[in-house]
Structure 1
Amino acid sequence: MTRKLAEISDALARTPTVTRTLRVFLSHSVSGQSWQEAAAPLQDGASMEVESGQAIPAWTFRVEGRLLDVGSATSRQNKTPARKFSSFVKRLVVDWDQDPNVYAQPNMVEWQRGPGVTEQDGFEVKRRGDQDVNVRVLIQLQHTPERFALAPELERVLDIHEDTRTNIITALWNYIKINSLQDKVDRKLIRADADLRPIFNADTVNFHDLPQLINRFLQPPPPITLNYTLTVGPTAPSGMQAFDIDIETEDVSLKARQSAVVLSMTSESAKGLAALDDEIASTAQAVRNAQQKRDFLLRFAEDPARFVESWLASQSRDLEVILGNDHGVKDEDLKRSDFFRLPWVEEAVAVQEGLRVANALQPPPGR
């Protein structure tokens, strides 16, 4: 449990991620079209609306999105407020194939994340027009942690198209280890093989220079492209089109559970764990003692007479050795070095030293 607590504390220092689905909705509406005017005759004074611009043909294109909640009903009830669509977007571009000279208006709009930006659930583009147009939406996602696309040279070596910086450096380090590219003498030097030489632009590089070298081959991932046909006629679809995009997001629920575990480990809990450790150690020692006693009794039950004779002979020999009687030691035993590593050696040396000191302290005879 202590080891698991340490693992959780270490995991909290990183950002846990999970793959979720971001659903993007594209839709549009039209106003002031000729077929709409025919279906709804103008009232008296409507000609003034044309001059004010309210009856000029126009269309409104919308880009909206939300993160799908795949959790249980309980987690949905207790979840934190849902993130707005723009929080998943780093850059969004909407362009269409309308001639900009017809209505003297640009045929492209761009939204880019900046400091202090207000998050929103979607974007709207309003333009004048009475003809169908093809709309293209380019979305640059805001990944957490940030993801990068690899240049073709590095992609061929690592077989990775897009990943985080940490995973890319880890993959490169695994490639170096698998191909034994570390210098045998100086382990900080990396020797480039035929595939890495164009990337390093040298035969050897220092290990600490790898992140800086990798940065030259990292670039923003290509944007996600969504195509949409905007029709202004009476047959225009009344619904919307949906596109699902996989995105790496922070796993808020996992981080909350990990934080709860760490916070629950108070000083009293730590003392409880220490007491359980002591109880486990005492129980394990009791089990070992019981096993030794069981083995002793089993050997005795198999052949009591021979067991007693062998046990008495062993005790007698140990006593002679402890008392320093050389008759208890065989010559062949003295030729083996492991004989002097037996458990009784230290005790025998202590007894001999005690006898020597006692004899030295005795007064000479006649005094």
Structure 2
Amino acid sequence: MDHKAAKRRKLTDKSLPNVILQNPDFAEDSQMYQSLLEMERKLDWTITRKRMEIQDTLSRNPSTTRTLRIFVSHTVSGQSWQAGTESDNLTHSETGENIPAWQLKIEGRLLELPQRGKDKGPPRKFSTFIKRMMVEFDRDTNVYPENNIVEWPRATGHHNPPLDGFTVRRTGDVPTHIRIVMYLDHYPEQYRLNPDLSSVLGIKEESLLGVVQALWNYIKIQGLQDKADRRLVRSDERLRAIFGVETIPFQKLPEYVKRLLSPPDPILLHYSFDPSLPVVEPERPTAWDVEIKMEDAALKNRMGVMLHTNKETSVTLAKMDEEIALLAQSLHNSHLKRTFLQSFADDPAKFIQTWLESQSRDLESVLGAGASEGLTLRQEELRRSEFFRLPWVEEAVSVQEGLRLASKGM
């Protein structure tokens, strides 16, 4: 059983078809066989190139632009219009009961893409899209001198888990204007371009890589690459006014670009309400749609599937490799058989003589009577005359005589 398994492993070894099918002698005159080899080489090269392109794309973490919808709403409690009786109007400062107050809610979620449907996996929490957020309350500082600014900086760790939204509670019954300043967490990180560079490239906000690529496209279109030294970029009038140099080494383009980048402008949301007025119908939350750049997980997963074949595909490929190996071994054996018979047809006598010498060497190797073995039992038998009187000698002489006569007859 072990011997069969070893033989099977040998036949299914992927290196076997390559060794046998590279350029065997019997295939030199076969145009179909040569076409198959050429097609195999092209297919291997194409698969390898595509695999490398996908790996390069995955290393850059593909990004996409999605729409983040932000909802802002409020609720009130303890207001005068909510009290039913005069006794209910009594406030209790110790318990906080019947004290006019309101709550501000800030929530958000990603909008689904029509062509993709629902995203696979659990949706991201709203707070993961925000780097930092500030909520400012425009109220009379004489009446409300404190707690008019709330700031939330995102931090990692169990003490600051991801949240679906934010709630801010304050006391009061006067009209309030709220200003929300929100810094989004883009991927890759976005920057605001210098106005002069922005007018040249035609973009206002972009990642560092995107700005460098846009600048390189401008350089190629304008023909600013040095003709003698392709590593240098010759500044035209517009780039000279921006960077202040005549030439820029190609490898230092990101360094020059970084000097003209700054953090992007935050998202500003304005919201106003009057808690002292009764609400006839439940108010719908006010919503804003903002664009955010994020990692394209769906595209990354699809490309990852192309790199990592599933179990069924692996089994099918292994079976095909085994079939190719068996067919290649069969062709190789047929080629050896043909060579063997062709040698016998060309010169039977010489073929038999060579064959007998080969068999004699094999027999000596098996019996341990090689040239390096010294005076062995086999050599002792050859020195005795009785050895050459055995029945096999007459049979060998008869065969050799018949071959000689056959060769003369041919």
Q: What secondary structure is seen at the aligned counterpart in 2 of 1:50?
A: coil
* C-alpha distance 217-272 of structure 1, shift in aligned 2 (>3 A): farther
> What TM-score do the two structures reach when normalised by structure 2?
0.60
User: Partner of 1:217 in structure 2?
Assistant: 260
* C-alpha distance 204-274 of structure 1, shift in aligned 2 (>3 A): farther
* C-alpha distance 140-272 of structure 1, shift in aligned 2 (>3 A): farther
2:50 maps to 1:4: yes
Inter-partner Cα distance in structure 2 for 1:5 and 1:203: 41
User: Partner of 2:87 in structure 1?
Assistant: 42
**Counterparts in 2 of 1:168-183, with a 5 A limit?**
168-183=211-226
Q: What secondary structure is seen at the aligned counterpart in 1 of 2:284?
A: coil
2:205 maps to 1:159: no
Read off the aligned partner of 1:215 and give its amino acid letter: K
Inter-partner Cα distance in structure 2 for 1:8 and 1:273: 25
User: Partner of 2:239 in structure 1?
Assistant: 196
User: Partner of 1:107 in structure 2?
Assistant: 148
Inter-partner Cα distance in structure 2 for 1:214 and 1:30: 50
2:251 maps to 1:208: yes
Inter-partner Cα distance in structure 2 for 1:21 and 1:137: 18
Q: Which moved more, 1:261-270 or 1:176-185?
A: 261-270
**Counterparts in 2 of 1:73-88, with a 5 A limit?**
76=118, 79-88=120-129
Q: Are 2:224 and 2:233, in contact at CA under 8 Å, matched by a contact in 1?
A: yes
Structure 2, gaps ≥5 residues long: 1-45, 325-410
* C-alpha distance 185-268 of structure 1, shift in aligned 2 (>3 A): farther
User: Partner of 1:128 in structure 2?
Assistant: 171
How big is the shift at 1:238? 3.0
Indicate the percent of aligned positions where both proteins have the same amino acid: 43
Q: Are 2:91 and 2:99, in contact at CA under 8 Å, matched by a contact in 1?
A: no
How big is the shift at 1:16? 1.9
How big is the shift at 1:209? 1.5
> What TM-score do the two structures reach when normalised by structure 1?
0.67
How big is the shift at 1:144? 1.0
How big is the shift at 1:233? 2.5
How big is the shift at 1:142? 0.7
2:299 maps to 1:238: no
How big is the shift at 1:147? 1.2
Q: What secondary structure is seen at the aligned counterpart in 2 of 1:243?
A: strand
How big is the shift at 1:177? 1.4
Q: What secondary structure is seen at the aligned counterpart in 1 of 2:112?
A: coil
User: Partner of 2:60 in structure 1?
Assistant: 14
2:259 maps to 1:226: no
Structure 1, gaps ≥5 residues long: 278-367
Q: Are 1:100 and 1:106, in contact at CA under 8 Å, matched by a contact in 2?
A: no
How big is the shift at 1:153? 1.6
The correspondence for 1:28, drawn from 55, 61, 74, is: 74
How big is the shift at 1:72? 7.3
How big is the shift at 1:155? 0.5
